[in-house]
Structure 1
Amino acid sequence: MWRNKPGNGQVSVFSFLDMRLITCGSQQIVSEMFVKDYTLLYIVGGTGQLMIDGQKVDLLRGKAILLLPAMLIKWNQSAKQPLHYYCLTFQALRQVAQDDQIISYEKVTDGAIFPQHTQLSPSYSSELASLLPHMHTSYMSASEERSYKHQTIFHQVLGTLLERKEEECRCDGLDPIALATTYMEQHYDQEISRDTLAGIAGMSPWYFSHKYKEVTGHSPSIMLRDIRIRMAKKQLLRQDSSISEVAHRVGYRDEAYFRSIFKEQVGLSPTMFVKRKRDKIAALSYHYAAHLLTLNIVPYATYVEQKREGHRRQFHPSIACHLRRARHLDTIDMEYNLRALVQAKPEVILCDELFDGQEKGMLEKIAPVVEIPWLGMDWREHFREISSFVGRKKEADQWLSSYERKAQLIRKQLKTRLGSERVALLHVMNGKLLVYGMRNGGSVLYQDLELTPVHNSNVIEVCKEIEIDELSCYDSDRLLVVVDEDKLSKQAWNELQMREQWIGLQAVQRGQVTSVQEIPWLEYSPFTHTMVLDEAARLFG
């Protein structure tokens, strides 16, 4: 490890991972993936191309490239001149906690450590050309007793990379090339000249064009075109606007030229792009996938967990790309899903706001992202928004009308049967006890069927964890209980039934405790809410 002087949120440790000298076979390589860790490449021989976040970089002997975590890369090497290159991988770590004996670190992957552009200038490449062969030799011959030599050279390599950052970021501490790119990303809807960008970068127009292409691999005009096309794809997906309006919003005053350049870059005309947006939808929300199923649209890619979702089993064979589902996706699951999406190449990604900034950025590199707030809307608003997006608003309105009639009929039946009896929905998950409010099953119980909650359900956003001693606050006439299938939850449920706080509940005393399944009761979608209506009628009718 190499320690850096830590500041506020800065990197405190660089950790060496691996060093390889890679010789590719004679076959042509074309593969696409996200970069996991900081990766330094130095080309020793051969030729090829590397697409980095959609930008092409030619791979030639003597070229050095630094890849940052979350970059989307695509290799394309020449079959006649296979690539031969050094590959150094390392991590940047930030200290997040410390006690008397343990220091905790987290990975830094936000790209703030090094300049965002990836190609190193010839002066730095020549310095790495002398360091990396020695580092590789030392690493391959190192024993446990002599593992320090390659680490020493690793420190020199880091020093070279950090020196490059300091040299290239002297415009009030900001990278002038990044400043110009940021300006294009923020003002793509306006006329932008080379002179304007050169002035922002503090360079002459000629030198700016030369420098910009040197560090990014593309001219400023190509970068601006790519930004505008990316934004046009987003607007064509989300807004009920004409193609002419979208063209003007992204900086093209000539609609015919916009149509031509869009088709050239995307492979489809704007009209066909809009029509095909529902052909390959990746639904990265378990609930939103159910909205699509309700509209008779099978997602091209979505989360699938066959053991827990018998209600969707009939659709599983039609889902082309199965993504991993878990209550809390860990790093391995997320990396698997991203790899699967890269290979599947969906037309559009439908998701909620619960992805962090870096994850959303990675998704946007795969396909245009349509984000619909999960917490900011109820399920009916979700349904209308999604139906409008896929062009099935009329079908959604008809479905909702039918649902409302069914809910009204059952509501009248239960009002006669239950009167003012109070109902609570509890959930034992991972050994913890949760109570639900106005979402998931609570939405059907308390809103659609107008049953009486035992608590102020409006103050619970989704669900609330409670302690056993708080059970008396949720004492109701009838209890519905969901118990997860994991060992910890089953054990907690068995122990709960022996506690005096549980035994003393009114619903327990009256024998009005009913076990219900996670699905359909805890899925927040029209697909399962009609199933909840049927179960409520059966249980309480």
Structure 2
Amino acid sequence: MDQDFMNRFTPRIHDILFRDEEHWRSHAYQVTIHSTRMCNLGFVVRGYGVLEVNGNSYDLGPGCYYQISPPGSSMKFTTNEANPLLYVAVHFDYRLAQWEGMSISSKESGSGIPMPHMLALDPVSGAEEQFRRLHQLWNGKQPGYEWRSRILLMELLGGMEKKQAAPSLAVLRAEEAIRKAIEHIHDHYKQPVNRDQMARICSMSVSYFALLFKKISGYSYVKYVHKVRMDKAKILLLSGLAPISEVASEVGYEDPLYFSKLFTREVGLSPSAYRKG
């Protein structure tokens, strides 16, 4: 799952249920929904069955994560009386939020959560305990249960992302090159190497470098440079009385007006207003 998605992911939980033997008996061991109304994330505690999502089948057993998205997907659960599926199910929807200064916008995502529909976990992963805790937290309805549940849901999605198939050696090397590029920006933010030069240093095409950089950092190369510079500028503005033009030059902008424009767009305040608190 790329970091740009998680940076903007804003979920709203509708319900968290435990599907037990009684649930399956009442549905004759089969549940079909032709068009889902929300996303579904679950963890199988015990039993076996088959999940079909948009015509693709996945075998489920103890220790399996599954996710069904986006809304509008077709799904079908099938199990049997001898060993029915017992699982925790989280029903939620989400929007992707984007901050611009002091303003925020959000939109629905039509492509669904960027991860496989099913993942099998190591039995000692601790995922079952996390899902049971989420179920208890939501259904206990104690003060703060909604936002606490949202945080735990995001942690669970992060855990699923980590359990995806290990990347190839080539991908690992490429990701390490991107991390070194990020380190370079932090060390040389005043005069960083431009994107095309950095792509050549990393032995990548410009398009692949741009794609991988955004996946790992959550930002485009240029926006990440601006972000690091703005963070440094905040420190300088609050720690001294240097003119705005000197602060701009110190973080790599020779034009103070351009710096002020970027700073205001990023932070929501002008440099002078930010300095005043």
TM-score after normalising by structure 2: 0.48
- Higher relative contact order, chain-length normalized (CA < 8 Å, sep 6+): 2
